[in-house]
């Protein structure tokens, strides 16, 4: 990165695991590096809401076992943690201390991961911009709602972080911060102990420096065969000829074209695809379902603490209150019908390739960006991966997104790794790309 205020320094979790394997001294060093990096960058990046006690973290690392043994990991502050305060990004829960860990936190600990701290989330994982700044360029948003998790990985605080996605809260921040983000198939990782926003859409998301990192991380947490060795040659990418939600900027279109050229040069194939009319109908369906469920999920906060909600969230819930049950049911039926037609969407292709976001991260901190390129895939429960490695015309990271059908996560990660490898090779050949 060329920006003078860049704090961008992601570190590979796989590389760190090689160093720390069976060596308690290296594990201690890895944990201490995370604490040192927090002290170095946190005053400017503002990714963390709480940090673990140093001695407790070192003791846990020394005795850790499992695939993530001794690796420092950050957790979005939308998940309960028994040893760290959990505020859900809201003053309503300032100082709140849960009595138990969320299920995903338990999985982290069971597999040897060291929870180094909690990361900033937008208020209740909605879209109100938080204080976190983009490590690539402090004048830009890191995206949201998993703002702190993406920033913590991009800044090198941790090699892995946990986030969530209900609209675009994993893929978009990963794109803006120049790292890999993986939204698994809906339900693959548990959301128990997460502050619910929309039970139909809430999905655990994972962040890492690159696609291989998030694939390994996902395997460790899920028990599924997702880690990548070699990458399958010759995948077929479906590239839409247009989008029913919003057009990508010229910047995003150029990045996608660069990715397509790189993929073809690496032996992959690209087919142009056209979305059926029902894809356009899902845009409103997502909004209807999310609104109806959020008004119930945050009912206590809305009814008893409305004055403590941000104007953005309070306004959203005001509008959500007007969504009636019949409209909600109609949207749910439409969503289920669309899921039944997913096979035709992926016919003849390995995965879809689209922009991860409409543009580079917006400058300023009045917005976390537009999740338009993510919402439909969240509704459909599809696995999605942000592939890093490209820069936009204004010098900031801009990602492309690989999408596959539900429960085809291994193929999605493999296909994304092919794209990442192809892009990296193209950038090495033509550094200005």
Residues with active-site annotation: 76, 145, 169
| Structural contact between residues 421 and 231, judged by C-beta atoms closer than 8 angstroms | yes
Q: How far is residue 95's CA from residue 84's CA, in Å, rounded to a whole number? A: 9
DSSP letter at 248?
P
Neighbours of 428 (CB within 10 A): 9
Question: How many CB atoms neighbour CB 230 within 10 A?
Answer: 7
DSSP 383: -
Other C-beta atoms closer than 10 Å to the C-beta of 4 total: 7
CB 412 within 8 A of CB 404: yes
Contact call for residues 231 and 418 (beta carbons, < 8 A): yes
Minimal CA–CA distance to 207: which of 20, 12, 45?
12
End-to-end CA distance of the chain: 13
Q: How far is it, in rounded angstroms, from Cα 316 to Cα 296?
A: 13
| C-alpha span between 194 and 101 (Å, rounded) | 9
The alpha carbon dihedral of 113, 219, 74, 202 has a sign of: negative
Helix pair 13-20, 24-45: axis angle to 10 deg? 150
Tokens standing for residue 172:
């978009």
Give per-residue burial for 298-307: e unless 16+ CB within 10 Å, then b: beebbeeeee
Contact indicator for 385, 211 with CB cutoff of 8 Å: yes
3-state SS class at 115: strand
Taking the C-alpha atoms of residue 142 and residue 140, their distance in angstroms, rounded to an integer, is 7
- CA pair distance 46, 159, nearest whole angstrom: 17
- Residue-by-residue DSSP string for 278-317: HHHHHHHHHHHHHHHHHHHHTHHHHHH-GGGS-HHHHHHH
Nearest alpha carbon to residue 26 among 69, 90, 74: 69
């Amino acid at each position: 990165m060329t920006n003078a205020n860049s704090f961008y320094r992601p570190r590979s979790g796989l590389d760190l695991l090689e160093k720390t394997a069976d060596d308690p001294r290296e594990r201690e060093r890895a944990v201490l590096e995370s604490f040192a990096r927090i002290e170095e960058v946190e005053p400017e990046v503002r990714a963390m809401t709480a940090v673990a006690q140093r001695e407790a973290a070192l003791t846990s690392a020394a005795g850790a076992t499992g695939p993530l043994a001794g690796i420092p990991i950050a957790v979005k502050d939308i998940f309960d943690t028994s040893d760290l305060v959990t505020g859900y990004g809201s003053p309503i829960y300032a100082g709140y201390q849960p009595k138990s860990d969320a299920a995903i936190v338990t999985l982290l600990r069971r597999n040897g991961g060291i929870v180094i701290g909690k990361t900033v989330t937008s208020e209740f994982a909605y879209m109100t911009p938080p204080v976190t700044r983009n490590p690539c360029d402090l004048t830009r948003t890191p995206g949201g709602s998993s703002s702190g998790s993406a920033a913590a990985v991009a800044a090198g605080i941790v090699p892995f972080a946990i986030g969530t996605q209900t609209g675009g809260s994993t893929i978009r921040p990963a794109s803006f911060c120049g790292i890999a983000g993986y939204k698994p198939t809906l339900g693959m990782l548990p959301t128990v102990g997460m502050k619910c926003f929309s039970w139909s859409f809430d999905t655990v998301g994972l962040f890492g420096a690159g696609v291989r990192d998030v694939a390994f991380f996902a395997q460790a947490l899920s028990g599924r065969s997702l880690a990548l060795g070699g990458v399958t040659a010759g995948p077929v990418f479906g590239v839409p000829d247009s989008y029913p939600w919003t057009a990508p900027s010229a910047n995003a279109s150029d990045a996608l074209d660069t990715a397509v050229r790189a993929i073809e040069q690496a032996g992959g194939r690209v087919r142009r695809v056209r979305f059926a009319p029902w894809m356009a109908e899902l845009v409103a369906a997502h909004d209807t379902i999310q609104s109806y469920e959020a008004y119930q999920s945050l009912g206590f906060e809305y009814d008893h603490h409305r004055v403590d909600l941000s104007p953005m969230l309070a306004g959203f819930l005001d509008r959500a209150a007007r969504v009636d049950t019949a409209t909600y049911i109609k949207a749910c039926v439409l969503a289920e019908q669309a899921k039944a037609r997913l096979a035709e969407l992926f016919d003849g292709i390995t995965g879809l390739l689209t922009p991860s976001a409409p543009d580079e991260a917006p400058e300023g901190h009045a917005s976390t960006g537009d999740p338009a390129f993510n919402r439909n895939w969240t509704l459909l429960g599809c696995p999605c991966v942000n592939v890093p490695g490209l820069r936009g015309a204004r010098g900031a990271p801009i990602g492309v997104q690989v999408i596959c059908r539900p429960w085809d996560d291994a193929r999605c990660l493999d296909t994304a790794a092919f794209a990442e490898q192809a892009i990296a090779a193209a950038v090495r050949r033509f550094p200005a790309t």
